[in-house]
Amino acid sequence: MAHRHLSETAGRELTKAAIDDIITRGTIGTWRKLVEAMHADKTGRITRRVTDMAKTLSERDPRARAFAALLRKLSSKSHDAAAM
C-alpha cells in the first residue's frame, strides 16, 4: 500500500509535515519512494526540504537519524558517480 503522502492523488508537492511523517513513521520502502521523489524533482525543492527536515528531526528521533545517515550515504555515492 502506498504511503498517503506519496500517492498519485497527493501530488508531487510534499509539505514539511508530510516529509516529517514519512521520515518518522515510514518504512524503508516509503523512504525509498521519498528518495525517488527527490531524484524526480528537477527543481531541487523536495531535496532541500527533505534534507532540512532530516537534519532537524535527527536531533530528537532515532529513525530520523537513520534516514539522515542513509541520505548522506546516497549523496556521497551519487557525487562519486558524477565524478567518474
Q: By residue range, what is the domain housing residue 24?
A: 15-83
The answer as to whether 6 is a domain residue is no
Q: Which of 51, 52, 46 is nearest to 70 (CA)?
A: 51
Q: pLDDT tens, 31-71? A: 999 999 898 888 898 899 999 999 999 999 999 999 999 99
Per-residue pLDDT, 11: 44
In the predicted model, is pLDDT for residue 9 greater than 50? no
- Structural domain count, the chain: 1
The answer as to whether 8 is a domain residue is no
Q: HEC profile for the chain?
A: CCCHHHCHHHCCCCCHHHHHHHHHHCCHHHHHHHHHHHHHCCCCHHHHHHHHHHHHHHCCCHHHHHHHHHHHHHHHHHHHHHHC
